[in-house]
Amino acid sequence: MARIQELQDLVVQVRRDILRMVHRVNSGHPGGSLGCTEFFVALYNEVMELKDGFDMDGKGEDIFFLSNGHISPVFYSVLARRGYFSLEELNTFRLIDSRLQGHPTTHEGLPGVRVASGSLGQGMSVAIGAAQAKKLNGDSYLVYSLHGDGELQEGQNWEAIMYAAGNQVDNLIATVDRNGQQIDGATEDVLPLGDVAEKFRVFGWDVLEIENGNDLNQVIAGLNEAKSRTGKGKPICIVMTTEMGNGVDFMMHTHAWHGKAPNDEQLKTALAQNPETLGDY
């Protein structure tokens, strides 16, 4: 119980970080970041086996790829709070000369990031390559990745999905953030994705679903279940239903906050709904 409370406190603090980061520069993507907060907190603090420090090759530890790079605020906050770089650096998000670019990149050498993402649909291929490298190296640790649901409209994903199943890339756990929203509206209105889980299944993946991706217990249980199914000949997909903008009442049930920052008043309201737990950066 105590452990869950610690993680829950971290979730709330990360939400505050996200809101403050995007507010400060009046840009960035709070919606998807808030929706995936539980996932990132669970992954980096409960599920992945990580070495101290950071090296690009990530041998002998689990590694993660963020394919939908626009939710960089949650990634940066969780990386900083896991100790990859100083919390103070969150102040530089999207500013000139920063390592915290609008979309994550290796270019400025930010610890924790292993590939640039932002142009959508590329992360799964990279994750598969890294998973194959682990197999060649006799490294039994896992590769995790996160993908937006709208991002699945990019065709490269389906090349990758086909490849991973056809080649038994069973050391990969790819999670799809099924928040049902994209920039122009609901995914099912813009370009229907239909039954995402079934699509992965018929491509040959082992699929499990997290019904409420904003319930920390469910996220941890789902990730651990996925982990237990690795090494059995199939890549693992988690279809995780989340609420974009979760934790801030006026940011939920809409796609409006996909790529928009709150103003001063809105920030105040949003922060009041997420009282400080571990200290603001």
Partner 1 sequence: MTTYTDQGKQDTRSGYGAGMTELGRTNANVVALCADLVGSLKIDTFIKENPDRFFQVGIAEANMMGMAAGLTIGGKIPFASTFANFATGRVYDQIRQSIAYSGKNVKICASHAGLTLGEDGATHQILEDIGMMKMLPGMTVINPCDFNQTKAATIAIAEHPGPVYLRFGRPKVPNFTPVDQKFDIGKALLLNEGTDVTIIATGHLVWQSLLAAENLENQGISTEVINIHTIKPLDEEAILDSVKKTGCVVTAEEHNYLGGLGESVARTLTGHRPAPQEFVATHDTFGESGTPEQLMDKYGLNNKAIEAAVLRVLKRK
Q: Which residues bind partner 1 (CB under 8 A)?
A: 56-59, 63, 65, 105-107, 114-119, 121-134, 136-137, 139, 155-156, 159-160, 162-163, 166-167
Q: What distance in Å separates the CA atoms of residue 68 and residue 145, rounded to the nearest whole number?
A: 10
Q: Given the complex with partner 1, which of 65 and 93 has the nearer CB atom?
A: 65
| Three-state DSSP state, 48 | coil
Q: Given the complex with partner 1, which of 61 and 89 has the nearer CB atom?
A: 61
Q: Given the complex with partner 1, which of 109 and 211 has the nearer CB atom?
A: 109
Residues 190/150, Cβ–Cβ less than 8 Å: yes
Least separation in angstroms between residue 4's CB and partner 1 is 32
Q: Given the complex with partner 1, which of 5 and 167 has the nearer CB atom?
A: 167
CB 198: neighbour CB atoms within 10 A? 11
Partnered with residue 237 across adjacent β-strands are 174, 207
Least separation in angstroms between residue 122's CB and partner 1 is 5
Least separation in angstroms between residue 152's CB and partner 1 is 14
| Three-state DSSP state, 42 | helix
Least separation in angstroms between residue 58's CB and partner 1 is 6
Q: What distance in Å separates the CA atoms of residue 115 and residue 106, rounded to the nearest whole number?
A: 6
Least separation in angstroms between residue 60's CB and partner 1 is 10
Residues 5/277, Cβ–Cβ less than 8 Å: no
Q: What distance in Å separates the CA atoms of residue 261 and residue 7, rounded to the nearest whole number?
A: 25
Q: Given the complex with partner 1, which of 37 and 157 has the nearer CB atom?
A: 157
